[in-house]
Structure 1
Amino acid sequence: MVLSDVLQSRGQTRRLTLCGTEDVVGRCRDFSREALADWQWIPAADEEEQAVVDDVLLLVSEVVTNACLHAGGPREFVLNCTAARLRIEVTDGSPVHPSPRPSGVAAPGGHGLTVLRRLARSWGSLPRGSGKTVWVEVAAPHGSRQRGA
């Protein structure tokens, strides 16, 4: 396997260490926008690619907000981009894994996991130290022009 094949399969990773909850959602969205621009997902070539970018930014908001609301805030935010997909990871200090709300609950809020299930190709949660990492994957846009991933 040559180096370019390894880079293609492992992709590129961006990592942001976090502390607390103040403006963390905005920081993670800005960090994501910058990474997507570097990976040439932004500017989007058409409406379909723009929809994928919008979905990614909404998913970032959801997983980071959940870490703020239910786990004392994220400790680390990671993006890994390959030619086929983008993986978003949020690590926090709570060992409690996310669980969906029962369907049909009409109360405001608490529907973030429903958003994840509908927009993400896949998602899950893994133990990490004394906490966990929640991960979300989104398929790369069909016409993705990204380079170096």
Structure 2
Amino acid sequence: MADHQESSLTLPSAPASVAEARRYVTGVLAEWGLPEGAETADTVRLIVSELATNAVQHTFGRSPTFTVDVRLDRDERLRIGVTDGHPRWPKRLPAAVQQDNGRGMAIVRFLAAECGGQLTIEPTAAGGKTVWITLPWKQFLP
């Protein structure tokens, strides 16, 4: 493998972009060796769906686009990031909270941890943030 592989796509902050983000990441990972039908591909699709949905729903028109980054480094770590231009970071809800929305980040944290990964949030130079999921790539391969 090369030192690293990376790919990114910027999409409008619109509901239809969530499905496009899922298709994009699934396609990139298939090119890198992860079969689209693999159970781990389903996990990645759900993570991307939740992150893209947050970028669309919770930026309140302050981020007309969001960017999906996919990186595979030489240490065989897969990083998927969703960047938007809104300065507010996602809130961490207590596990006991009962509500219909706001659960996306809890789901993402759980899925990342279940796969041996982690979630981090980094500020961008433009005042927004990137929500990153880092996962061990070897675990994803059949």
> Normalization by structure 2: what TM-score?
0.83
Counterpart mapping for 1:61-140 below 5 A: 61-71=49-59, 72=61, 74-82=65-73, 84-120=76-112, 121-128=117-124, 129-140=126-137
5+ long unaligned stretches in structure 2: none
Q: Of residues 15, 19, 24 in structure 2, which corresponds to 1:26?
A: 19
Q: Match of 1:58?
A: 46
TM-superposed CA distance for 1:51, in Å, is: 2.3
**Alpha-carbon contact 1:77-1:89 (below 8 Å) kept:** yes
> Normalization by structure 1: what TM-score?
0.80
Cα RMSD between the aligned structures?
Answer: 2.0
Runs of at least 4 residues of structure 1 off by over 4 A? none
Q: Relative contact order: is structure 1 or structure 2 higher (C-alpha 8 Å, sep ≥ 6)? A: 1
Percent same amino acid among aligned pairs? 32
5+ long unaligned stretches in structure 1: 45-49
Cα distance per residue 1:28-72 (max 9 Å; x no partner) = 01101111110110155xxxxx22111111000010001111114
* Count of residue correspondences: 133
